[in-house]
Structure 1
């Protein structure tokens, strides 16, 4: 499921950046034709762009193929920890803009679209080992309904950058800033209730190394600066901590009845 979430994120990232998603038969792959802006941000070929712009020729932007399983050979394998995925996370943060999309409805549907705040965040569990995971949350900005897996849900909807004809949007009662804070509080609450074995095990390894350090210096009544430097290094290495990184934010005008049943996490 984690790899599926990464694929969904990349689909939304490249679609909202006006890149072309090219046909590909295997759902475990994604093929993208980059725009000029994305090519410059992701491909690291400044000399090519300098030359093309100097002579005034039409550029040929790069096409990228990603794969989400190591069972395939074609394409660049992306997963948490892969340099390309972190480059894209950083690019999304660097662009620093809100995505605004509207749901395209069936003709017989109600024309009202409700505002939803969508957030993708990276959660990092850090000690002497590190683990990352992506979480995608959606918050309805009128009644505060909160759902998880928002990014995956969006891929099942027909979305457009323009408000569809004969539709109108409802005004939010919750601000974007307040919505982000609500989502962060929910995630923090969920993290507090998660199993802590990884942190407990890191603390045990920390104690063992601290004991070894103390044994090495046990015959010295006054500990040298070196001891305290190594003690500090052990703390930096082993102390368990969890950090949240906001990747991107979007405002989506949707009709909740088309996707909501069974997804609600909180109000």
Structure 2
């Protein structure tokens, strides 16, 4: 899963050509482009007016803080589950749900590029306490090796939409559709092995709430409809469950040296 939210956000904004000024380990000021101003700042009237008057317009800047606890400053606290981060995830989904990229090679020697399937997946925990985690998983489509925190591993690579001269791709042994199944099975196993105390607590709270509802409404026939609706509402709110959603994914062709670098992590 994404363990360094600050680094993830820096990658997101710089990849969209924003200027990012990191003030310390958790605070950042971002000078937005017009595109991201329109995505994040909810100013449709302003940009409509700029277009009508033939003016360029001035994108806004935002100040974010990625601290694990709410900071005591005037910057916007961004964290897993925050509306701002949901905006960014939604934009990623709409903008580039699937992609194919090639590692740049600047040598005049025949260079093989090896296939990786990379998927960024959001895991939503639903119950008495809601939270979200993001997994970034890479699957080597030749030998089936799985690597976590994949986006952090490839952060230093130069990737492009077209192959460099003298490069050629190796065909996957594992087909992408099978690769997706392996990635989701891996995440599901991680969840099965994780601490499920949150689910037990949510289940216990659900039983307590159901007992209270039955105590108040179960004695009279005219309350039967109210009882059924309250039961349904409580199960919807407190029944522990997990939803897994694909944010985006891509087929990445990487050099042998980069592949070995990832596999040794």
TM interval, short-chain normalised: 0.7 to 0.9
Offset of residue 160 of structure 1:
4.2
Are residues 223 and 67 of structure 1, via their aligned partners in 2, closer, same or farther at CA, if it must alter by over 3 Å?
closer
Distance in 2, Cα, partners of 1:211 & 1:190: 33
Offset of residue 48 of structure 1:
1.6
- Given that residues 99 and 250 in structure 1 are in contact (C-alpha distance below 8 angstroms), is that contact kept between their aligned partners in structure 2? yes
Q: TM-score, normalised by structure 1?
A: 0.83
Distance in 2, Cα, partners of 1:79 & 1:135: 15
Offset of residue 80 of structure 1:
0.9
Distance in 1, Cα, partners of 2:79 & 2:138: 23
**SS of 2:81 mapped into structure 1:** coil
Q: CA RMSD in A?
A: 2.9
- Given that residues 39 and 62 in structure 1 are in contact (C-alpha distance below 8 angstroms), is that contact kept between their aligned partners in structure 2? yes
Is 1:78 paired with 2:81?
no
Which of 251, 256, 262 matches 1:259?
262
Structure 2 runs not aligned, ≥5 long: none
- Given that residues 139 and 145 in structure 2 are in contact (C-alpha distance below 8 angstroms), is that contact kept between their aligned partners in structure 1? yes
Distance in 2, Cα, partners of 1:92 & 1:146: 23
What are the residue-to-residue correspondences of 1:109-188 with 2, within 5 Å?
111-188=111-188
What is aligned with 2:8?
A: 9
Offset of residue 113 of structure 1:
2.0
Are residues 20 and 217 of structure 1, via their aligned partners in 2, closer, same or farther at CA, if it must alter by over 3 Å?
closer
What is aligned with 2:196?
A: 196
- Given that residues 3 and 68 in structure 1 are in contact (C-alpha distance below 8 angstroms), is that contact kept between their aligned partners in structure 2? no
- Given that residues 8 and 155 in structure 1 are in contact (C-alpha distance below 8 angstroms), is that contact kept between their aligned partners in structure 2? no
Offset of residue 56 of structure 1:
1.9
Offset of residue 104 of structure 1:
4.0
- Given that residues 122 and 132 in structure 2 are in contact (C-alpha distance below 8 angstroms), is that contact kept between their aligned partners in structure 1? yes
- Given that residues 8 and 151 in structure 1 are in contact (C-alpha distance below 8 angstroms), is that contact kept between their aligned partners in structure 2? no
Which of 38, 41, 45 matches 2:39?
41
Aligned residues: 260
